[in-house]
Amino acid sequence: MKNLFERKKVLITGGTGSLGRSLIKRLKSYGCLPIVYSRDEGKQALSFGRDSGVETVIGDIRDFDKFNVTLKRHKPDYIIHAAALKRIDDMEFYPDECIKTNISGSENVARAALQNDIEKCILVSTDKACQPVNVYGSSKFIAERIFTNYDYNSNSTIFSSVRYGNVIASRGSFIPLWLDKIESGEVLPITSKEMTRFLFTLEEAVETVLLSLVNSLGGEVFIPQLKSFKITTVLDAVSSIVGKEAETEIIGLRPGEKLHEDMLAKTELDFTHCVNNSNEPISLLRVRPQYTRKKYSDLAKYTGLEFNSSLHLSENVELLKGLILKGLLE
């Protein structure tokens, strides 16, 4: 994969988050020039400072003209669109702001990419976009459809999306919070003991995004085949790491929260194909668009179950402990 990124320019929107920083570290090791486009000048300075191997641009994806000018000036080969408003419970109370960034902002990114003949443009989506029940997930579902539609109308730029689950120890992860609360003897708030979640490491998230970008034909949504865990298994793993038993309190579902997450819906199975990447650490699936001009007929069909977090459970506490410890070191 390194050869495909060597001497390429990759612009990352929202590149100051945990995923963005890890992507930039990997891309630099490939001999690639990363360009960070974000509205947070403080995080840019803290994350990259005077790093000559990274170009930084202060800007908001809500502003089409600024983003368009940025593409004309820096001329990236690829765009990884990771900028988004992501806090699920907050977005239930601010749907207007979510629409401006996650939907209109994504449309701005796609329109500018098409106008500037960018080679490939990929949207970083979420498992919340599959059969969404909240504002955040719905906004990402629409963003996926925007990218698919732009691909349908493009004769040059290849547009695609990639969904995935919860990244261990990322900025939005609950696991570091749990570790701190157990260490200090505080009560852990638990939504439900039946809750399940897809979990993987930041390094696996980086691998998923880059493999999806490399394998994109156009218009599809990529999905990593991940294991999921019950919240009680996560509790056993973090308690074992700290060496203390945790006291818990059942608090019920937060606004917009699901008991089980979906990454691949049953209704998408007829359009789902395997990605031939057996030599890579992450196994990918691709959901082709129902309307497309691209050729998907030669690809192997996926014949497994839909990806609901209640159907792909692992109860291996030691495996999860290893993932958590690895994630904390990233």
Average pLDDT for residues 121-148, to the nearest whole number?
Answer: 97
Confidence of residue 328 (pLDDT cuts 50, 70, 90): confident
Which fold is adopted by the domain 2-165+201-225+263-307? Rossmann fold (3.40.50)
- Please state the domain extents for the chain: 2-165+201-225+263-307
Q: Which residues of 163-312 form beta strands (DSSP E)?
A: 166-167, 188-190, 196-200, 221-224, 228-230, 248-250, 262-264, 272-274, 284-287, 307-308
Hey, which residues are catalytic here? 128
Average pLDDT for residues 31-46, to the nearest whole number?
Answer: 90
Q: Please, what is the Cα angle at 205 between 71 and 132, to 5 degrees?
A: 85
Average pLDDT for residues 18-22, to the nearest whole number?
Answer: 89
Q: Tokens representing 78? A: 């690829």
pLDDT value at residue 212: 96
Whether residue 286 contacts residue 152, with contact meaning beta carbons closer than 8 Å, is answered with no
Average pLDDT for residues 144-149, to the nearest whole number?
Answer: 97
pLDDT value at residue 128: 95
* CA 211/CA 263 separation, integer angstroms: 17
pLDDT value at residue 35: 95
